Structure 1
């Protein structure tokens, strides 16, 4: 495997850390900035929304800029965004810094995927892209416990200073090991949007969005949930996040094997159904620490088990436009994170109880299940929509 692929994966890990690390230290940030936990939770919501929009838009706007130069410029912006976060003394400044890091992070991840696809050998392309996705997923789930440990030892601001330092290292590595990368063919955003004429793909994106929304209705506020229901100390909470992260990373691998064995379409419905059930059970398992750990790890494993089956399904459904749809599916994931953290904040504010959030999340995942079922039913119908989709992809090409 080309060493540059691993460098891009390292970059993806560095960038991915900044998004959800806030979730594990929300109470500390809220107290320091003198806002409520629900308000502090919007730091996740805004980041995800900006990230979802910025990726495809910036990729089109920067289509004529040499890729290595663009990558380094974006990393530098990301570095200053984290330094800005470190020095933010008010919630408004913190929110501004989050927007800056979200915009740069979105472009870095999209560039990491597109550059990897270009530099990897054709027979290793899928595996190479898998390393990038592994970097993204591991940073999202393991960044939270790491952030808690650093916060407990040195304060929450140090978390972002560490990410800034890691970014400097990434800048140096990219500068040293990458030659100039010529611009490739990037489709205009207007052409990318035409791919949404494929309705069955749209419902697949909606399934991703609502699944993540249900998940982050709980996960974005998992720290106050553990503090309230389990009376856990910060060290125990960090341990729980590590267990969750390990389960989530393992779930991605198990989800891929599951989809290979029984097929992507069946896997999608089974995983979504079990995921919804795990959320409904979660608040009723807190009476016993061992039982709660088991339920939590099942929830964690299922949270990333859907991704391999969903990506495979999208490629099977519309191979010609799969790259575009993978990009939009990533945006749907981010919208789901934003929606879930926003809904979780509202549920927490209105009810004043963290135990209500898993129930709300479970119902949102049911919506994801319905969207997936609609998508799967449409994909089996022999209509002229397939011809229409081929016409659209022909115009895109």
Structure 2
């Protein structure tokens, strides 16, 4: 399980860490920061498009082979990136790294679920998901620090080392796991486009959009709400990141104890409540950080609490094509991230940062309603492949 967790940590750090060294990349390669930002966009779009395709195409491959090929390509792409001298080459290498992540990431969660006893599936999924939040709380700051000390190329070199360590740990220590069963493509499409699954995926995208919209623009929001300086904002970001790690683990425990549906109701409900409190506090600004910080920590935990429940729900509904369902979930997650950043930017430019929490809260409530429809559809008919 540690190898699966570390691989998730490496893949997601590689996606997010670019933001920390963006100015240095832009200056060194002679492009604007807005152009350099497309390195992040290209990675996210490539993963969103490629993940479900790879999951269907590689469903019968042994998992060790999937991880071996993906991590080898990922490591090679980052090694070449560390020596890249042109922006177009670096952009192409980011796409290669993203395709490797799209190939491996859904399989990481599918293998975790396959290794788990039924009553502990939520905890096993949460263990791998800790790599996602750990990349935000630990990986990105560490990668940014490395870039500050030795240059942005050292950040890519560090990612290559991480990919190599993940490769060795998975290939050497991963227990044998059988490939997925043979399911006709038409049957896969039937399951993956069924109402319980599509509605659940849409609800997940809504929750991610609401969460990432505020996370992307948390710095200006904290400045406007509480006059938070750079050091204070850094502490809040770190605390929220560690709260997210705790939230994922506790969400896994709750999924095993209460089931996915009840866990989702609790997590989204808390998220919407925190957004409502932020909205009420706006007219009282500047608000003390002693009030804002605990709310930000609860928000961080609630925002990531839902991940194990969402994935456990998809695995149970999709049955033999659970891996493909998780790949679609990866796509919808990246779509939510992209839409959240775009929508937040529009709100920030047209209104002020005051608009972020109420809109995020409304999106959370919409997600709760869509999850309710998904649960109702699941009760009326099981979509699992035959």
Rounded to whole Å, the distance in 1 between the matches of 2:5 and 2:104 is 11
The question of whether the paired residues in 2 share the 8 Å contact of 1:282 and 1:295 is answered with no
Equivalent residues in 2 for 1:344-363, closer than 5 Å? 344-345=344-345, 350=349, 356=353, 359-360=355-356, 362-363=358-359
1:75 CA displacement:
0.5
**Alpha-carbon deviations, 1:63-98, whole Å to 9, x = none?**
454432332121111012222433344543333222
SS in 2 for 1:263: helix
The question of whether the paired residues in 2 share the 8 Å contact of 1:278 and 1:299 is answered with no
Matched, 1:203 2:202: no
1:176 CA displacement:
3.2
The question of whether the paired residues in 1 share the 8 Å contact of 2:273 and 2:361 is answered with no
1:297 CA displacement:
2.0
Equivalent residues in 2 for 1:298-377, closer than 5 Å? 298-311=298-311, 318=317, 320=319, 323=322, 324-345=324-345, 350=349, 356=353, 359-360=355-356, 362-377=358-373
- Per mean C-alpha deviation after superposition, the further-off stretch among 137-146 and 10-19 is 137-146
**Alpha-carbon deviations, 1:253-292, whole Å to 9, x = none?**
4445667579335315413422543664797766544444
The question of whether the paired residues in 1 share the 8 Å contact of 2:126 and 2:249 is answered with no
Give RMSD over aligned pairs.
3.8
Rounded to whole Å, the distance in 2 between the matches of 1:273 and 1:339 is 19
The question of whether the paired residues in 1 share the 8 Å contact of 2:268 and 2:364 is answered with no
Change (3 A) 1:187 1:114: farther
- Structure 2 unaligned blocks of 5 or more: none
Aligned residues: 380
1:180 CA displacement:
6.8
Change (3 A) 1:289 1:20: same
Name the structure 1 match of 2:262.
263
- Per mean C-alpha deviation after superposition, the further-off stretch among 20-29 and 211-220 is 20-29
Select 1:74's aligned residue among 70, 75, 78.
70
The question of whether the paired residues in 2 share the 8 Å contact of 1:21 and 1:147 is answered with yes
Change (3 A) 1:110 1:33: same
SS in 2 for 1:205: helix
**Alpha-carbon deviations, 1:230-271, whole Å to 9, x = none?**
5744x6654443212111112224445667579335315413
Change (3 A) 1:62 1:325: closer
- Structure 1 unaligned blocks of 5 or more: none
Matched, 1:96 2:95: no
Change (3 A) 1:281 1:13: farther
Change (3 A) 1:310 1:171: closer
- Per mean C-alpha deviation after superposition, the further-off stretch among 326-335 and 219-228 is 219-228
**Alpha-carbon deviations, 1:199-221, whole Å to 9, x = none?**
24323221211221222234235
1:361 CA displacement:
6.4
Rounded to whole Å, the distance in 2 between the matches of 1:305 and 1:178 is 27
Name the structure 1 match of 2:39.
43
1:172 CA displacement:
2.6
TM-score normalised over the length of structure 2: 0.80
**Alpha-carbon deviations, 1:23-68, whole Å to 9, x = none?**
4444554555555555544433332222122222112223454432
